[in-house]
Amino acid sequence: MSLRKKRPSKKPLPAIGKRSVWFPVLLLTISFLLMILPLEGFVLSVKAVLSYVFIPQVRAAHSAVKYAGGVHQTVQELLRAHQENYTLKQQIEMNNLLAAQAETVFRENERLAALLQVEPVHPWTGVWARVAYREPSQWNTVIIDKGSADGIEERSAVLSLEDGQEGLAGVVIEVTENTSKVLLVRDEDFSAAVMLERGQEEGLLVGGGVHPVRVKYIPLLTQVEKGDKVFTSATSSIFPAGILVGQVRAVREDSSFQTAQTIEVEPQVRSAAVKELFVISRRGRK
């Protein structure tokens, strides 16, 4: 490709006149003078004047660069969110399908329960709430941002999610119009009727405070192993049956004359991890 001009300009270029010559000469002279003068006095004054022009400009440039530096991260997050959105949409569709199947199963269950004249299992209904306040001295009690105005009643079961798995979080012990107090599983005053996944043996779960959560009154000959799941029992008057409480952490070796064994349970929902809670409505239950 030739460096020569291929086509003439639409307008003729202006002739280099006197003005065109003296102006660059003037600028070159000024810059040359600035170079030869010492970096004090006049040059410092020039710099000071220029700082009024350039420093806001530099700040703006720095802000623009900083902002632009974050753009690729934002774009990355946006792309990730797009991918996540796609996956979640698929999950929602799957969940809708499962919910429809569950609805059919519930209706079938109601029909069969009516035929057998037993109490049918109702689906859980309730409200989601957030932890609004946590008393530092009482870590196993939280205040949530929903109250009687949202349909919450005392002695309602409370669930929470941890690692994508729901689990028993506690029970509502106090209700005001817009807030409620929840006693968490680990609290010493907490207790619930539970059953073991293996063998369907029932026991009483009690919170331990600083000590581990325990299940008492498990028959001696019951085979319990570490990792066995513990669920709420149908005999509980507060909690619906089938809520995951936790996993067996250890079996306590008690003295031989005792008639029952005690097991230690690791709760599914840790007290410190509780943020969003699902309060099961008592109206939906018997």
Partner 1 sequence: MFYKAFKLIFLFVLGTVCHWAFATFFSFCGLSVNMMLVFAIAMCTIVPLEAGYLVAFFSGLFLDFFGARLFGNNAFLLTLAACAVYALRERIDFEAVVPQMVTVFLLTCTVGISNSLLVAWFTSFSQWPGLWSLLGGAVVGTFFAPFVFWLVRRVWGEETAPSRL
Residues forming contacts to partner 1 in the complex (CB under 8 A) are: 1, 3-7, 9-14, 16, 19-20, 23-24, 27-28, 30-36, 39, 43, 46-47, 50-51, 54, 57-58, 60-62, 64-65, 68
Q: In which residue are the tokens 């941890």 written? A: 162
Please state, in angstroms and rounded to a whole number, the distance separating the CA atoms of residues 179 and 150.
9
Report, in Å, the least distance between residue 46 CB and partner 1.
8
Closest approach of partner 1 to the CB of residue 192, in Å? 59
SS3 109: helix
Taking the alpha carbons at both ends of the chain, their separation in whole angstroms is: 89
With respect to partner 1, which residue has the nearer C-beta, 33 or 99? Answer: 33
CB of 75 to partner 1, least distance (A): 17
DSSP run (H or E) holding 22: helix 18-36
Nearer to partner 1, 22 or 86 (CB): 22
Q: How far is the CB of 74 from partner 1 (least distance, A)?
A: 17
Distance of CA 238 to the CA centre of its chain: 27
Say what the alpha-carbon torsion angle 217, 220, 221, 222 is, to the nearest 10 degrees.
30
Is residue 167 within 8 A of residue 159, CB to CB? The reply is yes
In DSSP terms, 159 is beta-bridged to: 168, 278
Q: For residues 24 and 164, which CB has a smaller minimum distance to partner 1 in the complex?
A: 24
| Distance in Å, CB of 49 to partner 1, minimum | 10
**Which CB, 8 or 136, lies closer to partner 1?**
8
Nearer to partner 1, 56 or 209 (CB): 56
